[in-house]
Structures are given as structure tokens and as C-alpha cells.
A = this chain, B = another copy of it.
Amino acid sequence: MIITMKKTATQKDLDSIISMIESKGLHVNMISGTSYNVFGVVGDTTILDMKTIEANNKVESVMRVSEPYKKVNRLFHPEDTIVDVNGIKIGGKEKIVVIGGPCSVEGQEQISRIAKEVKEAGADMLRGGAYKPRTSPYAFQGLGFAGIMNLEQAKKETGMPIVSEIMSVDKIDEFVEHVDILQVGARNMQNFDLLKALGKTNKPILLKRGLSNTIEEWLMSAEYIMAGGNPNVILCERGIRTFEKYTRNTLDLSVIPIIKKKTHLPIIIDPSHATGDWELVEAMSLAAIAAGADGLIIEVHDHPECAWSDGAQSLKPKRFKELIEKGRVIANVVGRSM
């Protein structure tokens, strides 16, 4: 950590900061510049609160040098984490995993029918929302537990593991029992109580990036889960909020090589929510594979114009199948299977 002191800081001011830091078992080096004096703090600086140090009115600025995350940091854990979901492995350098299914579970018949179609198209897992975070209180809020039961039945029929979004702590037991991958949605990425509770399970967690969260904040949320004892974290980029409104969000594919460099966790891409437009999903999926993603999660519906939510971004099963076929060729080029 680098602390820059104002020129007006007296020796007493400097000493006061130094003794505060040293009292925490850290070591301080000082560099005298022309306009400022600078402290370099050596040791485990994750225990220091930057904002409190900045509160000293003789401090100009505080900058971190080391990352504030430890368990997700590749520096301390060089080999790739591979998350095992009922025998399907996410992460590593082999298979690219494809998760398909509707935005919302609409009933047993619908989810069983679509499950078969996505399996036939080549998907590895089934997604479907039972509890839906909706901007409007007047919009369809999901089938709830009945939806989870419908997913479980579809799993029995197809053998595919199921992925569904969990929105609150009081549903954890239900999800641990019935769902294979627990998804934390973008709006809950910093619902820390939920993250802590998920850290105490050993279930695979699909942690979506918040729509306005930095990569560092995202990794800190993963750190919450890992710090609780659960190493099975899968990161998922689903677009960030920018000034551009042509797409619903802006898909940030550069996170793929960044996440690979900074962490050992697998990273998958959700082109459906990122773009909000099915016409863009195939191009972004192929791009994600080329850039090194470990998986894709894609919305598929056989009657998008009748879907109860998010029809505009859903692919029909036929197009989904074509996407997988094209994707496989690119996967092979980058040395992986799909």
C-alpha cells in the first residue's frame, strides 16, 4: 500500500501515521519526493481500511499495490480450479460447457419439452428460473418452489444437471437439496448475507457479475464465498451497464483473459442477458469461445414470442443447435471440446 502525504504534513503528522501502521504489525518505508512524501507499507495490508487512512487531512491519497483478494488469487493458487457438477467438469483446459434453457420455468410440460430440445441440440446442462428478480412488482415473479420441482423432473427425464437462481437466504436448504448449480444473479452480487450463507454450503455457485461492478468487486464477492469454505465458484460475465443503449448491456469479453490471469476460477459467458437480443447471441458466443471462455449459458425457448419473460433474447432450439455446431469447430481450434 502506498500512502501519499501532503507537503504540509509535519514530522509529527508523519510519525503519527507511521506509529498507527506499525501498531498493526506492518512495516513502513518512506520516500521523500519533490511535491509529496510517500510511504510504502509492507505486510498484509488487507487488514488496513484505505478510507480511514484517507480521513487524515494530511494524507493526499492511498493506493493499493497488492490485490485485496487472497483465496481467489492465482498468485497463491496457480493451478486452475475445476468445478465438478455431477461428473461434468467446468474449468481447466478441456471441455467448454454449454448450459441452455428458458428464462423462466412456465410449467412441467414447457420445461420438459425444452429440456429435451436443448439436450438434443448438444447442451450439457439445463437452466430455468423459478424465482425471478423483476424490475416491476406487476411482472411475473416466477413459479417458485413448483418451478424447482418442474426442473427436477426435467433433470430426471434428461439426465442434465440443473441451474437456477437463488434470491434469498431462506431458500438455501431447498436449493441445496434440489438444484445442482446455485446461480447468484447480477442484482445480488453484493448481497453479502446471501454470499456468506452460500459459502457455508459446498454446492457449485454461479456468480454473475453485477451490471455495474468492477472486476475487483466481483472477485471480492467470490472471495466471500471461498472465505466461507466453499471453493466451487464459477464466474459469469453477463454484460455491464454503459452509456450505449443499443444493446441491453455491453458484453465485456476482455474479462476472459483477465480472469484467467488474476484467478484460478472458471469463467463462463451469458450472451443472452448481455445483449438482450437473440440476433447477437451467436456472434458473441463464438467470440467468447475464441477468447477462451470455459462455458456458455444461453436462453432457449421454442416459442419466444409467447415466453413469460425475456423472449427477445431467446434462441429457438434450431438456432441453438446451429450455434453449438459452429462453436464446436472454434472450440477445436483453441484446443478444447464442446
Query: Which residues of A pack against B, CB within 8 Å?
Result: 2, 4, 7, 29, 31-36, 38, 40, 42-44, 46-47, 49-56, 60-61, 63, 65-66, 68, 75, 133-141, 167-170, 187-188, 190-194, 196, 210-212, 214-217, 220, 223-224, 227-228, 240-247, 250-254, 256-258, 261, 274-276, 278-280, 283-284, 286-292, 301, 304-314, 326, 329-330, 333-334
Contacts and interface: CB of A to CB of B under 8 A. Distances in A.
A192 B40 contact: no
Contacts of A167: 191-193
A34 B29 contact: no
A197 to B, nearest CB: 9
Contacts of A188: 191
Contacts of A290: 283, 286-287, 289-290, 330
Contact of A243 (B60, B136, B241): B241
A333 to B, nearest CB: 5
A279 to B, nearest CB: 7
B220 A246 contact: no
Contact of A135 (B220, B254, B274, B309): B220
A243 B212 contact: yes
The oligomer's copy count stands at 4
6 contacts: A35-B75, A137-B224, A170-B170, A250-B252, A254-B284, A286-B290
Contacts of A311: 49, 51-55
Nearest to A281: B257
Nearest to A334: B286
